[in-house]
Amino acid sequence: MLRRTPWSKYGGTPPPFEIVKARDLGHVPDDIHLSPLPAGVDMYSGLGIPAGSTILSPDHLEVLSFPLHPMIHLILFFTNTHPMQLNPNSYLIMSTFLALGLKLGVSLGFRDFLYLFDLTVIKGETSFFNFKPRYRKKFLSLGPSRARDWKNRPLLISGNWKAPELSQLSIPSAFGPKPGIYKFTFIIFL
């Protein structure tokens, strides 16, 4: 069964003025292409999503800048999370975390972020997640987004949206089972 979306009256795809509005509000560069989901694309299974593309809502575009910062790219990779599975506030928290590091003159990375924040399921959902401060690690938190329909307004994003430095690390193109933190080790060459 298809979800009823704000764009249902337009045949399930956003009208052209909505795409222009999303580009303007999000200050999306010209080398990033926004388009409605083509017929037959399933954002949950990843079926029909062109290679090198992803799906995000206009609400995500308002809080993200492109190409993605390497830390955000790493968080999506190591948590095995599709970009649309995180609510827009999660990206706002990540961006604020990065800005705070720049302001303080320190290099905060994804390990610092995952030490302070926990990936949790959004109440009442099964496939969508957000970041919440870990117990006794409250460093930065934002209330839930007022935009409740972000899950129902998908746009296909293509172009130079990924962090170019990390092109070898693929971000999931399909919603997976409950994301988790990969166990990883770093090898340091001297």
Sketch the domain layout of the chain as residue ranges: 8-166
pLDDT single digits (tens) 72-110? 999 998 888 999 999 998 998 898 889 988 998 998 888
Q: Which range scores top for mean pLDDT: 70-74, 144-148, 164-168?
A: 70-74
* Interatomic CA distance for residues 7 and 14, integer angstroms: 5
H helical segments located in the chain? 16-26, 58-63, 70-78, 88-104, 110-116
Phi first, then psi, for residue 97 (nearest 5°) are -60, -45
Closest CA to 86 of 40, 41, 51, 131: 131
Residue 7's alpha-carbon distances to 3, 81, 128, 184, in angstroms, are 10, 25, 20, 41
Torsion (CA) 5, 10, 15, 17 in degrees, nearest 10: -90
Q: What is the structure's pLDDT at 152? A: 78
The CB density around residue 33, as the number of other CB atoms within 10 Å, is 16
pLDDT single digits (tens) 41-60? 888 888 888 888 999 988 89
Residue 143 pLDDT class (50, 70, 90 cuts) = low
pLDDT single digits (tens) 15-29? 778 888 888 888 889
Q: Cβ contacts of residue 148 below 8 Å, gap of 6+? A: none
